[in-house]
Structure 1
Amino acid sequence: MRQEEHDDNAGTAAEPIPVTRDVRGGTARLLPDLDRPRAWLLTVDGAPQSYVDLDDPGHLEFEYARRVGHALDAAAGPGEPLDALHLGGGALTLPRYVAATRPGSRQRVAEPDAELAAFVAEHLPLPDSAAVTVCAADGRAELEAAEPGSYDAVLADAYGGPHVPAHLTTLPYAHAAARALRPGGVYAANLADAAPLRFVASQVATFGAVFEHLALLAEPAVLRGRRFGNLVLLAGDAPLPLAELTRRCAADPFPARVTHGAELERLRGTAAPVADGDAVPSPRPPDGAFSIG
């Protein structure tokens, strides 16, 4: 959002300036991208959370978001509307993407930080054409309250600070996701891990106990445990469009691999599904892994 104030001498619009607010999760800041006139980076306590270009909601800056976008692009025919539930809202990057690429989609966003949601709504309003409902709710509670077969896609990008919350990693949670999806629907989760990928292995085991088909999208360096990074887990009751996902991920500016089948089973190893009583959050990123100086 470009500021409306004008310089008295120049008479031209001022450059956009950062906006800051304290929210439940910490200090939220919106930082302008000077290379894209109405693009903004949302950070919380210095960690990047979302990137939004108000003029081009189809632009996905973050690598993990592009991978979720590839899954959404392949989830149905071109432009076909989807009913989607988003667990975690941030600056609503993916709801904006779905609204732009699949007009007529109906979307619901569960964002537990009401102050963050209000901050985003004030400074980065959704277009009037977007049928997106944002509610101040815990993602798992919203998922468990959903009517069976309500959604074509459930997208989990929910972080409590630097972690995926423990209660969003368990077998009952996976069953709730399966219950909320329609036949042929897809679950996608943004996860983060590093060698030896024990957290991701536990998620493969957990969702593999509920869904017949799984795939993992990530950069090869992350899959090999060479660095901490994001991995996107996909799950469904029907075969995933692996060939199309492989093509899209390979063509990305930062190519990713699509891991599935026996290779994914090897990654899982001896990991077992996670019970509620045994759940732990995702590992903390190394200092500086995602921070903005």
Structure 2
Amino acid sequence: MCIPLAGRWVFRRALALCLALWGAPLCVWAQGNPANLFHDLPGQPVAQRRLWSNKSTSKYLVRLFWGRFQIVIKPLETNGDDASHLSILDAHGHTVKQITADFLDEVGLIQITGRSPSELYVRASPMSNTQSLARTYYFTQSPAVHTLMIAAGGLDAVHRLAGGHIVITSVNCAPMEWLEDLSHAQDPAVVIVGEMQDGRFHLNYCRYPQASVRVALAYRKELLTKPRMGATTIGLGEAIGYYANFWTIGRGAEASAWLRRNLPSERWENFADDLPEINQRLKRLSQLIWRNDRRDYTVKSHDQPWWPDR
């Protein structure tokens, strides 16, 4: 049944993986932009503006201003300690927030709460390119700096409804990454959609199922093009993507029955062996967007990439 209301930018990397290794199914759905998956969400997409990217100024110390606060970025090339640093400083030069990461990817502004100044977002990633360990941090001023939320991977669309209600979506959280028998290149996209209420993220597929249906059916179509001979893992990513996106909207049994009828027996057995772990991860989707309002954050590679530590 539907999960009740309780309860980067990665796209450039996903795009490269799609084109090189997947046959580009995600790229086809998104037509070059994952936010296109969510074009029929209610409300209006919030404004977003990039302030800094490591592509253009990665070798230099950078200073930016965000309302009353200053942002100091020390990219990897300037540190000599195999880490990049971003600090948010108050008017007295005291650090109020700090992020240490293998890589700082992007810093920008996004209008989530509607307050002025806009919220600050910071995208950071680990050396391993493990997508589930990448982080996007969202900070707000009210008037002190607070962490509004943190997303594994990052968000693709944020819509504000009447009355300030916020709808948040992502296909970049990589909940199936490093699943047994699934190569990194086969990791399927799983839509995450929900709402921010009282400072917390709540899944709400019941109200916003459209993107999940589109992604699931695209995976099923892709699965039908796979050869029926060869390794049992061929098509496993598509099978999981189809099942997972239908599971989130209460149609997991339907997807499982279709896969059993249409997959070759050895591939069905391979999928069925992984099903308990798949279901366990799906039950924890809401944990991929969270709030932890502390001073220091670290984004690093480690030996157990999933489920990511917060």
Give the TM-score normalised by the residue count of structure 1. Answer: 0.34
* RCO higher in structure (CA 8 A, sep ≥6): 2
